Homo-oligomer: A and B are copies of this chain.
Amino acid sequence: MSTTLINTIEIIKAGTTKINDVDFDNLHFGEVFTDHLFECDFKNGEWQKPIIKPYAPFLLDPSAKVFHYGQAIFEGMKAYKDDNNDIWLFRPDENYLRFNNSAIRMAMPEVPEDVFMEGLNQLLKLDSEWIKKGKGNSMYIRPFMIATGAGVIANPSEEYKFMIILSPAKSYYSGEVKVLIAEHFSRAANGGIGAAKAAGNYAAQFYPTTLANKAGFQQIIWTDDATHTKLEEAGTMNVFFRINDTLYTAPTSERILDGITRKSLIDMAKRENIEVEVRPVLVSELVEAAKNGNLKEIFGAGTAAVVNPIIGFSYKEEYFELPKIENSIASQLKEKLTNIQHKLAEDTFGWTVKV
């Protein structure tokens, strides 16, 4: 799968650009897409010639397996433009590996590395005008693969479409985030697909999240489905808990997405001599720490929001508000990480890759 050779990616340029219609100061996440997309189809057992072409709707048969059986995966990553107009990716190799791990779990073909990386690089170069300089600006990148084969028998498709689409993003103030700890609903099963970025994992959360929203909570922190005693992750973020001066976060497992922001924060915190314990964190520990004042911070970690502080949580109808603290670990780590991503600080980890 890693041996496919693309001599050239065919490029069909858009006749006009949509860029002048876009208000870059008021972007909502994931609504605006650039002029082009990258596409590579899989059929007859192999990847076909890749192409970059104008962003546009495409045709699918009503019986396409993605519609009926949810055979679909994606990734989420970002590109940044520095003051020299160079474009940088953050740990793209990690997204590539995770994408193919998701593919394996969903019985889909792995995407060759040159298709993924060359496709992405050339697409970013072609639409580079859309990547704005300055901290807070980034290009959200959405590689995804769907099963396009026709027929409603419930087995893996023989045809797939891999695509990359780009959406300019603005760092957003997500408001004060309160979370609900899951007591009944769950995100993932033991032996299930929770560790994959599989499409079906996300729609599964919509209904419980809607209920949480109605109750005044922006997100849910999922617990293990068997006992609902262990804290796992949020819908699109891993979660960290600071009790006294130690950061705790759940170990990755079959049920938890191995987040790239999570692992980067762990490495950064360790280098700062912040104590980090990666181990199952019990809901009861959290409640106890909240009650006796040792719970200092909770924050989410993910590509979209980078680090997202949480101001309080509810469990069994009881709401626990966190203390307001100056110079939180969340804000320190966020500052350091976004500086690396935007090339405003030296990247001593070797995480940034030039396009």
Which A positions have Cβ atoms within 8 angstroms of B?
A: 28-31, 33, 37, 55-63, 65-72, 74, 104-107, 140, 142, 144, 146-147, 150-156, 163, 165, 167, 182, 184-193, 198-210, 225-228, 235-236
Given contacts A165-B62, A191-B184, contact A206 B146 (CB under 8 A): no
Cα distance A225–B33 when bound, in Å?
40
- Cβ of A208: which chain B residues have Cβ within 8 Å of it? 191
Contact B200 A201, beta carbon cutoff 8 Å: yes
Cα distance A333–B275 when bound, in Å?
64
A59 in complex: contacting residue of B31, B59, B105, B228, CB < 8 Å? B59
A165 in complex: contacting residue of B28, B63, B70, B199, CB < 8 Å? B63
Contact B59 A55, beta carbon cutoff 8 Å: no
User: What is the copy number of this chain in the assembly?
Assistant: 2
A70 in complex: contacting residue of B70, B154, B184, CB < 8 Å? B70
- Cβ of A63: which chain B residues have Cβ within 8 Å of it? 30, 33, 142, 165, 167
- Cβ of A62: which chain B residues have Cβ within 8 Å of it? 33, 37, 55-58, 163, 165
- Cβ of A236: which chain B residues have Cβ within 8 Å of it? 154
Contact B144 A67, beta carbon cutoff 8 Å: yes
Cα distance A62–B189 when bound, in Å?
29
A–B pairs, 29, beta carbons within 8 Å: A28-B153, A29-B153, A31-B150, A31-B153, A33-B63, A57-B61, A58-B60, A62-B165, A66-B66, A67-B144, A69-B202, A70-B200, A104-B207, A107-B203, A140-B152, A154-B202, A154-B236, A186-B191, A187-B192, A188-B189, A189-B190, A190-B225, A191-B208, A191-B228, A192-B204, A198-B200, A200-B200, A225-B225, A226-B227
CB distance from A71 to the nearest CB of B (A): 4
